[in-house]
A and B are shown apart, each in its own frame.
Chain A
């Protein structure tokens, strides 16, 4: 069994400030890790994913995430946010033995204000 915990349900942040969204997971086997973004009234869009290799993963729109195996974390960061980054962000994991079946965290609502 595996689970995903997003510690913050909502993160308010000022425009041009940095933001970090926390994600921790638990799994008895190796996993793939993902961050998705859901803009209002839209479907989920992949921001980035970690499959193997370098633990620092760069994604679209200036986002990056770092996989930390010892801390079982995959935190998402952006050094300077824009108003357009206001959205719901989901961390997800999939099990190597049943790849494709995503387990999602509860989501973090990011609200960027001027």
Chain B
């Protein structure tokens, strides 16, 4: 099956620093990647949609200047949390969708990145 990886799996940083999280589709080309945030014992909240070669589309209430998304290639999207604060601590999950093949395609999820901001 299709595999999506995330790096790092967990990161601890100091308040005020920036952290970059990578999401890679390992065995398929992903025209679209999604970034989610999952709070403890809560559901996933869609943050933004990342399309290769174009600007990301952010969901309402998500600060685009704080959560920078870059989808530079068909296999890589990055999420940079800028000037991180403790309230940004969360589990960040990406998903990727293969190139459409004449129908709807499944999203494949990465294993997530645990961010802790001290």
Q: B residues within 8 A CB of A32?
A: 104
Which of A45, A46, A100 has most chain B Cβ within 10 Å? A100
The interface residues of chain B lying within 8 Å CB-to-CB of A105 are 43
How distant is the Cα of A49 from the Cα of B106 in the complex, in angstroms? 9
**Total residue contacts A-B, CB cutoff 8 A:** 46
Query: Which residues in A have their C-beta under 8 angstroms from that of B109?
Result: 36, 43-45
B residues less than 8 Å from A99 (CB atoms):
104
Main secondary structure on chain B at its contact with chain A?
Answer: strand
B contacts with A, residue count (CB < 8 A): 22
A90 on the B face (CB < 8 A): yes
Question: What is the total number of residues of chain A having a CB less than 8 Å from a CB of chain B?
Answer: 19
**B44 & A104 in contact (Cβ 8 Å cutoff):** yes
B42 in contact (CB, < 8 A): yes
Q: With both chains docked as a complex, state the minimum distance between the C-beta of A29 and any C-beta of chain B, in angstroms.
A: 15
| In the complex, chain A residues 13-53 whose Cβ is within 8 Å of any chain B Cβ | 32, 36, 42-46, 49, 51
B75 at the interface (CB under 8 A from A): no
Residue contact A100 to B93, C-beta cutoff 8 Å = no
User: Chain A: residues with CB nearer than 8 A to chain B?
Assistant: 32, 36, 42-46, 49, 51, 90, 99-107
